[in-house]
Structure 1
């Protein structure tokens, strides 16, 4: 089975659109402690889950690692 791995930015430090705030320490702690052997985060299209293999709402993959780094461009 071919594994496709691509990095995605899932959050940044600061205010969110719904008024909450993401703290730098939270991101650093998540990256340092994430262990897919203990709890694997799954990638879904929506919060809706389907038991049918050909559904639009199937799973698209698993999160294999988390990284915290400074944004240097963009």
Structure 2
């Protein structure tokens, strides 16, 4: 009982890794600096901290402030 050797998984891994490495070089120029989620070196909590600082600044300076949250999903 012989089984054929499947190289598709191996080829896929090589292609995926090559593509990922090439995309790493150009993605920082493409992705907006305000995008925090799923970006290496950026953390989702940074956006929360920035929003908190904006609200606190608006409160302390007694300026009107409108805040809304938009959650996009696929």
TM-score normalized with structure 1 length: 0.24
Q: Greater Rg, structure 1 or structure 2? A: 2
Say which structure is richer in strand. Answer: 1
TM-score normalized with structure 2 length: 0.24
